[in-house]
Amino acid sequence: LAKTTQPISMDSYEGQEVNITCSHNNIATNDYITWYQQFPSQGPRFIIQGYKTKVTNEVASLFIPADRKSSTLSLPRVSLSDTAVYYCLVGYSGGGADGLTFGKGTHLIIQP
């Protein structure tokens, strides 16, 4: 069961690029790397998912080095509304729930 390590909290300012790194040293061959965002009193929301190299969508980029032992979520030009908890999830639910473990996440606080 791949476990993840993320910073507990981060601060940044509006308009800055924010990078949150997640360590997952024992990631398995089949495991995906998925990031979720959670606002207070809401369920987590999918942000981005990747397997290797780089993935980009309209809200974020995900960088995964060749050894896949870590990954970095990049949020370009953050705003106050990006203040939330961000979870890195490493696993593979095909056939069950193996690896569906959410850590405590990273509490990102964006200031004006």
Partner 1 sequence: NAGVTQTPKFRVLKTGQSMTLLCAQDMNHEYMYWYRQDPGMGLRLIHYSVGEGTTAKGEVPDGYNVSRLKKQNFLLGLESAAPSQTSVYFCASTEWSPSTDTQYFGPGTRLTVL
Q: To which H or E segment does residue 59 belong?
A: none
> Which residues lie across from 32 on neighbouring strands?
91
- Of residues 16 and 57, the one with the C-beta less far from partner 1: 57
Rule CB under 8 A: choose which of 29, 43, 58, 112 binds partner 1: 43
Q: Taking CB under 8 A as the rule, does residue 41 contact partner 1? A: yes
Q: Of 16-24, 45-53, 62-70, 73-81, which segment contacts partner 1 by CB under 8 A?
A: 45-53
Query: How many angstroms separate the CA atoms of 99 and 28, rounded?
Result: 10
Write down the least CB distance from residue 20 to partner 1, Å: 15
Query: How many angstroms separate the CA atoms of 92 and 68, rounded?
Result: 14
Write down the least CB distance from residue 100 to partner 1, Å: 5
How many CB atoms are located within 10 Å of the residue 57 CB? 11
Pairing of strands 45-50, 32-38: antiparallel
Binding site for partner 1 (CB under 8 A): 32, 34, 36, 41-46, 49, 87, 91-97, 100-105
